[in-house]
Structure formats: C-alpha cells, structure tokens
Chains A and B, each alone.
Chain A
Amino acid sequence: QRECLSIHVGQAGIQIGDACWELYCLEHGIHPDGFILDNRKDQLESAETEHMDASFNTFFCETRAGKHVPRALFIDLEPTVIDGIRTGKHRSLFHPEQLVSGKEDAANNYARGHYSLGSEIIDLVLERIRKLAEQCSGLQGFLIFRSLGGGTGSGFTSLLMEHLSIQYGRKTKLEFSVYPAPRISTAVVEPYNSILTTHFTLENSDCTFMVDNEALYDICHHKLGVERPSYTIINRLIGQAVSSITASLRFEGPLNVDLNEFQTNLVPYPRIHFPMTAFAPIISADNAYHKDFSVADITTACFEVSNQLVKCDPRLGKYMACCLLYRGDVVPKDVNAAIAAMKSRNSVQFVDWCPTGFKVGINSQPPMTMPGGEMAKVQQAVCMLSNTTAVVEAWARLNHKFDLMYAKKAFLHWYIREGMEEEEFSEARKDLACLEKDYEEVGQSF
C-alpha cells in the first residue's frame, strides 16, 4: 500500500480539491456518499479489476461499512469556503474532522497566514494529519494544493510544509500551486505573498506543478469558447490536469507510479523542481463528436503554447526532462508513429547534460469529464509534464512586480504589523534571484 495524502489549503486549494475529488469519484465509480456504484461492484469480482482495488486505495480509505473516504484534509482560516463543502454535494464523502476551518481569514496577507493566525491552528492541523497518516500502512507522501497569491495559501502552507518536513522527514511532498495571473489579479499584494512563500517552501517541497490562472483563462476562452469563465470551469480544467498527473498513482499505470518517480523523472536538481504541465485535447461540449483528434494531433498539441497551463515559451528555453502520459484507448503503434513524427521538430531542445530523457507511457483508463460540464468526453488524451528552463519567465515576471512595489515599500506595513521584518522580504527576493540564476546556469551549454 502506497498511500498519498492530499492537503488542500486556502480557498483555491479547497475549491480545486472539490473539483478533483468529484472527478476521482467519477473515475473510480464512487457515489457522492462514498459507496461504489452497484454495477462496478460486479466487475470488482473479476480478477482483472483486483488491481483497480489496490490502486485506488492510495487515495481512498475503505471503512468497514464499505464506504470509501478520501485521504484528504481541507484547511482554511475562515469558514465560508469550507462550509461550501460541508453543505455541498459531497458532504457525506468526507468525515467532519477532515474539514478544518478557523474563524478569521488571512486577508491576503502572508504574515497572517504564517505567523499570527496560522500559528493558532497549526497544531490542530498536524494532529489531524497524524490521524490520517495512522490509517496508512505505507504512506508515500503528500500532495499539497494551494495558491501562491492568497494569504492562507501562501502563509499557512509555508508553515505547514516546514512542520511536515520535520515530522515526516523523508516523505515526498508534491505541490500544485496556482500562480497569480498577471492580468486577472485579485489582490495587489500577490507578488509579495508568492515570493515569500516560494522562498520559504523551496527547500521543503520536492516538486511543484504550477498552474497559471491567465493560461487557464486563455484556454477557456479559445478552446472552450467561454469568454468569462467562472471558477467552477477553471477548477474543473485544473481537475483534469491533476487527474492526468495522478492517474498512475490511482490506476495501474506504467509511468510515475509513485511520488518518488516524479522526482526521479522530472527533477534534476533539488531547486529546479517546477515542471510545466500541458494537456490535450480540450474540446467544448458543444463540439462533441464534431472533430476527431488523432494521437498524432494531441501529441503535437502538447508542444503548443496554447495548451500549456503556465504562460511561458519553451521554444526559448531548453528541456531538462519530459514525460508524456497517454490516457484511454491509445495503442503503442500510434504513439510510436506520433513520436517519430515529432522527431523533425527542431524546436524541442534538450540541455547537453540531460540525465533523465524523454519518457512515454500509456494508461488505459479512459479520461472522464463531469456530465453537463463544459468539456466534451474524449476517448484519448495526453498529458505532458516537462521541466523546461523557460519556466523561469514566470519567476522573472513575478520578481519584477515584487521589485516595483518593494522599491516604494508599498503595503509593507500590513506585514510588519503582523510581526514580520523587512529582512524577510529582502532575503526572499535574493533567494528568488538565485533561483533565476540557477535556471540560467542549467540552461547553458558546455
């Protein structure tokens, strides 16, 4: 048993979690109340699907009554968003102790999330995690979902990660972080929060999958035809990406079957751990069955900037690692043909010293979508995880915004009031400057 604990922090983390668990339940045939749909039960009798049983226990815990409870914890410093889960469609899926909320929110302030309010709730949270960990026979590690720009997502997560490193030393920690969208900012201090939390968490996180809101908005606009997507649609899109990334953890699969493998396959140096995600196809439900996308089509699409979940241009950088995971009805013949066709693309440049290479796997489990949702169901899909030096663009943009405000010491008093010092800001900024240099160095030729 190699169980994974999912921890969802702050509004973004919780709402993404809602979309993810909804999708996982659909994929595993679990009802909103935690019980398996009847017809699936018959299939579980057959020998082949015994593997399925074992695999999804990495994410779900089966109680004696036969209910499947997600191995997850939802944390927020204020109750509104968690109340949404407590009263929502999946309220019977989670045990009340898995939904932790405080009384006063972090007000988009890293300091409140990390110091003042965060410190009050951290012990309770660690205790709940301890309880969940005890239910596991062989805990692999943690998946942490949060936004970089929010107060709880940035501040509380960095505090939590520090404690997890201390208490659970060698367990892998993967992050899914929402990077602040330059054009669709919800709070002006997002750069501050993001830089502070990235600096603090850099050593404690093993691999961070970033998701950029602006890239998501563009995908919704251009591929789904939704000009003004609601958070529901955006979160479902993220849910699809997360489902693809965790598919091999939950179903029998070839590639990235455990959290360590992500590190081995994608992270050449500890600090260079920000792979970029792209997936295809993304089709609007109104266009279901109108056009067909072959394996070759979706493979090429992964290398297009419009299918990426982070805004950056890989053609301007170099790849250090790349994983392609196909899902659904995909035959090896088609994949081999698609890869051979990719050969001629000279825009895919790897670093000279590349240790890991280009890994390709197929997971036969078909991709699923929420019925009545914005995306059409497809038979074949692919998700590409690549560690490219181009991702440093995202950090450069954020660092620049940080500098603009910090030069004038704008908004600093909000943080100082909660007990932070200016040195922490300059330290964090220096660390991120070093990160940019690190990326530059790894991208250089010998």
Chain B
Amino acid sequence: MNDTLTSDVIGRRVSVNGECATVRFYGTVPPVAGLWLGVEWDNPERGKHDGSHGGTVYFKCSHPTGGSFIRPHKANFGVDFLTALRDRYEDEPEDDAKKQIVTIGNIPVETIGFGSVIKKQSQLSELRDISLRSCAVSCSGDKGDIASTCPNIRVVNLSQNLLSAWEEVTDIAEQLRHLEVLDLSENKLRFPLGSPAPVGTFAALKVLVLNRTGVTWAEVLHCAQGWPALEELYLKSNNISISERPADVLQLVRLLDLSSNQSIDENQLFLIAYLPRLERLILGDIGISSLHFPDAGVGCKTAMFPSLQSLVLDDNRISQWSVINELDKLQSLHSLSCLRNPLTVGSEAKTHLQFIIAKIGQLRTLNRCEIRPEERRGAELDYRKAFGKEWKEAGGHQDPDQDRPSEAFLAAHPRYQALCRKYGAPEDGELKTQQPFLLKNQLLTLKINCPDRPDQKALEKQLPDSMTIQKVKGLLSRLLKVPVSDLLLAYESPKMPGREIELENDQQSLQFYSVENGDCLLVRW
C-alpha cells in the first residue's frame, strides 16, 4: 500500500488496531526519515498532540491530544464493498474431518444445516438483507460490480465502517436499485457541496440512519433532494442545530430521531413544525427545558406538527407545567414519553403523571403505558379537585354566570374549564382541605377550678372534645374523690367573661357545649 499512496489519501478514513481515525497529512516529518501519515483520531484522547511537532504545524486537530503520526503500513485503509461482502457471505463449507469440535460444558456443539446456509448465502445475487457492520468498508469498488453481483439487496447495515465521503455512499447506492433501508451510523462522512446524487439513486430508500456521523442539518437537507421516498430518518448524536426549514424535501418523513443532539433548542423546532407527514418525533436527551407554540392561544390547537402522534421527550430538563400545557395544543398527539425529567421524577412523580394525563386530553399512552378509561377519569377528577381551591380564589364559581377565573389561572390550567363542563364544577365540600386526623388536634386544654373550695388546687387537663359530660364527671370524681352524682359542672370562657354555661346533660359532649381550648371548667358539689 505504501508506494501507491498519494496525496489523495488525505481525508480517508483508516483503522489502526481497532481505533478509527481520519488522515490529515501525508509526508515527511523531519528529522525522522521515511513517510508518515498524520491522523486525527475519533477518540480525542488517543493521540499525542494536535498536529504540530517540533514547532511546525503539519495538520490541525480540534483537540490537543487528538493527533498522531503513524507509519502508513500500520493503517488499514479498508476494503471495497464487494470484498467485504464476499468475505462475510462466501465461505467454504467446512470439511467434516477438518472441523474443530467446540464443546460447551463438555458437550459437543452440533451445528445443523450450516452447509446449506453457507451455500445459500454464497448466492450473492439472492441476498436481500445484509449487514457489513465493522467490515472496514471504505469504498464502492469498481463501477458496476455491485450491480452485477448483488442487485437485489434491500437492507444494508454499513455502520462503523471506513466510508469517508457521501460520494462513496451514492456510488454504492446507485447500483442497488431496490435499496430500502440504509444504516450508515458511525461513519464520519464528508458531504458534497456541489450537486446532489443523480436522480433515481435512492428512489426506493425508506429508512436512513445517520447516527453519529457528524452530519449537519444543512448537509441533510442538501442531500435530501435525492431521497424522495424517505419515511424514517435517524440523526442521533450529531450535535445538530436545525438551521433552516426543509422546503421541498423530507415531505414524506414519518419518523424523525433527533435524540442526543444537545444543540437543539425549542426555537429550532419551529423550523420542522410543518413537515406534513411527521408522526413520530424522538427528542430524547437534547437538553430541552421548554416548549411553546406561539400561534395558538390558551386552550386552542396549534397548526404546528399537524400529524404528530407520538413524541419522545425522555432524559431532558423539563420542570415546568407550562410545557405540558403547550403539548395539549398539538392536534394529533396521543402518545407521550417524558421519563427522567425533573417534572416526572422524585417523590411527586406519580401525582405529576396523573396531572399530565389530565392536562393532555387526547393522550392515550403515557411513558409507553396505555391509559385506560378509568385511569383517565380518576386522573381528571383528582386534578379538578387538587386545583379547586386555586380556581375559586382566581374567580371560579359553580354558577356559570359568575364564573370568571383569572387569565393567569386559565393560562396555568387551560383544561380546567373543560373538566368542569365534563364532571361539573367542584363542590365546596370537595375543596375543604382535610386536617390530618391526629388525636392531638382534637384535644382541648382545659383548666379545672372548684370555686366553692378555695383549698382545692386548680388543675389543668387535656380532654378530647368528643368526651361526654358523664365521662368528664367520672374523671373528676376520681381526681377529687367526690361521688359522681354530687358533681355539678359548668364552664366559663375567657371570650365571655363573667358568664357561666351549665353542662347539665350528661349524654352530651364537650363539643356540643362549644367548649374550646383554654376554657375553664367549674366544678361544684
């Protein structure tokens, strides 16, 4: 390979002991003799420097330890598509005599029918669904070879190979007229600035996976002209920022995966809001914390994302209820996943999930769990009750003529009025907040005085307000050593000085007589 290397080699992708890199330099590096390749590793910590050596800048890396010099023969420049294909699928059926017996747990492993599988797979022209992942594919090979060898391929996994430019991909795809699914993940591709691929190259392509390829949005749109039938597009982990609206491209796309692109913010989402067929949008792990649809007012439906049925917002920073309120504006949304957001983790998580169900009326699936009708009903009733007090304080009223909740309340709870219409406005009784029923909340601290017996010390006791007068007398009888039948009780309250109220009915409770905390019981016999 050494003598055939030319400066063309710059930009090529290579693999060295399993680690991938891009060639950035080819030449001499004095004072050491011989030719060197300067490479920028995919792993920024793998290298020794950033392309400079001994004061001279040979090439540039984006990371101080991203580069190395290596001898050309150490780099694997990969193979062409067909060589990789043959390597993987064409095999000699093993001679039984030469076959090595593998044992697992002392039992020989018997492979059945491998001979016919190998034979079948060797018929390259019949192959339809193949994977050449990590096969060091770096180019398409001679023109026409692929078309004559394996024209029927429909699904190709070319992830983690050494393809370096989009042109190489189109060279391959041009010869696979039936190509429907193409996975190019983890190939760092250079995209063309000039005219896109010839018409018809990706005519049948339905699914394209470009995860971790470093592609930019502009490059996607530019090449998308050549993907007229595309239905699913995966662009995970590319550090993408959506920079422009897809004007005439991506119009049939039903699924868009933009997960793990931390540079996306909510304003960029407006640019993809009018893709007519977009049904499923995956926005996991993009660091988003808010979302809004400014074209629709409170309680109205937005014209954005008209076909969106399923939205994935896992692993983000959503902590505001306003986001959930905005999601209710989507016309077709019926499935939402928002796991691992501040709003949906923690001690309040279960309650919050119920509120999410209540706030988005047409939701049928939340976090991949189906929302059953009883569950929706329960969630909506709970939500209505939980915010009933706030609603009243904001001007809500059971009588529709007087019902005028403030704008701030309606903005925070857009579905509240609809829920009131569905289940009726919350009754006042429902809204009373329960005092926790602890015994200590029910106890009255009372002074006990014996006005006719000055030598008797005043006592203080804590009695439950439900205690009957008879029982109070019994208690006092034991305390004062006086028979129950001799006791006469009355009480006076600091709120009404000078006035004594007789406690004459033994069957009634202290509460019946409105005895309150701090009052004084008067005992006579």
The answer to whether A and B assemble together is yes
Flag if B368 contacts A350 (CB, 8 Å): no
A350 to B108, CA, bound (A): 11
Give 1 or 0 for each of B156-195: 1 = CB within 8 Å of chain A CB. Answer: 0101100000000000000000000001010000000000
- Indicate whether B221 reaches chain A with its CB closer than 8 angstroms: no
Minimum CB–CB distance for B472 against chain A, Å: 48
Flag if B155 contacts A339 (CB, 8 Å): no
- Indicate whether B110 reaches chain A with its CB closer than 8 angstroms: yes
- Indicate whether A80 reaches chain B with its CB closer than 8 angstroms: no
Q: Which residues of A contact B236 (CB under 8 A)?
A: 289-290
A42 to B460, CA, bound (A): 99
Looking at B126-134, B325-333, B436-444, the stretch in contact with chain A turns out to be B126-134
- Indicate whether B497 reaches chain A with its CB closer than 8 angstroms: no
A253 to B112, CA, bound (A): 10
B: contact size bracket:
35 or more
A: contact size bracket:
35 or more
- Nearest B-chain residue to A319, judged by Cβ: B105
- Indicate whether A328 reaches chain B with its CB closer than 8 angstroms: yes
Question: With A227-B367, A286-B282 as given contacts, are A361 and B111 in contact (CB-CB < 8 Å)?
Answer: yes
Flag if A228 contacts B112 (CB, 8 Å): no
Question: With A254-B117, A286-B337 as given contacts, are A348 and B111 in contact (CB-CB < 8 Å)?
Answer: no
Minimum CB–CB distance for A410 against chain B, Å: 30
Considering only residues 340-383 of chain B, those with a C-beta below 8 Å from chain A are 367-370
Flag if A364 contacts B111 (CB, 8 Å): no
Give 1 or 0 for each of B90-107: 1 = CB within 8 Å of chain A CB. Answer: 010000000000111111
- Indicate whether B53 reaches chain A with its CB closer than 8 angstroms: no
Looking at A13-21, A352-360, A400-408, A413-421, the stretch in contact with chain B turns out to be A352-360
Q: Which of B110, B130, B185 has the most CB of A within 10 A?
A: B110
- Indicate whether A124 reaches chain B with its CB closer than 8 angstroms: no
A294 to B134, CA, bound (A): 10
- Nearest A-chain residue to B87, judged by Cβ: A333
Q: Is the interface of A mostly helix, strand, loop or mixed?
A: loop
A-B contact count (CB 8 A): 122
Q: Which residues of B contact A96 (CB under 8 A)?
A: none
B104's partner among A255, A289, A290, A343 (CB-CB below 8 A) is: A343
Q: Which residues of B contact A349 (CB under 8 A)?
A: 105
Flag if B369 contacts A229 (CB, 8 Å): yes
Flag if A329 contacts B111 (CB, 8 Å): no
- Indicate whether A167 reaches chain B with its CB closer than 8 angstroms: no
Q: Which residues of A contact B131 (CB under 8 A)?
A: 329, 379-380
A364 to B127, CA, bound (A): 10
Flag if A331 contacts B211 (CB, 8 Å): no
Give 1 or 0 for each of B131-155: 1 = CB within 8 Å of chain A CB. Answer: 1010000000000000000000001
Minimum CB–CB distance for B452 against chain A, Å: 65
Question: With A350-B106, A350-B107, A357-B110 as given contacts, are A332 and B91 in contact (CB-CB < 8 Å)?
Answer: yes
Q: A333-B91, A357-B109, A379-B157 are in contact. List 5 more A-B contacts (CB 8 A).
A: A232-B370, A289-B236, A331-B88, A348-B105, A349-B105
User: 20 A-B residue contacts at CB 8 Å?
Assistant: A225-B368, A226-B369, A254-B114, A284-B368, A290-B236, A292-B133, A319-B105, A319-B107, A329-B129, A332-B114, A336-B102, A342-B104, A345-B104, A357-B108, A360-B110, A361-B113, A362-B117, A379-B131, A379-B155, A380-B131
Q: Which positions in A face B, CB cutoff 8 Å?
A: 48, 224-230, 232, 253-255, 284, 286, 288-290, 292, 294, 319, 322, 328-329, 331-333, 335-336, 339-340, 342-343, 345-346, 348-350, 354, 357-362, 364, 366, 374, 379-380
10 closest cross-chain pairs (CB), A and B? A254-B113, A348-B105, A226-B368, A332-B114, A350-B105, A228-B369, A254-B112, A358-B109, A361-B112, A289-B209
Q: Which positions in B face A, CB cutoff 8 Å?
A: 88-89, 91, 102-114, 116-118, 120-121, 126, 129-131, 133, 155, 157, 159-160, 183, 185, 209, 211, 234, 236, 257, 259, 282, 284, 312, 314, 337, 339, 367-370
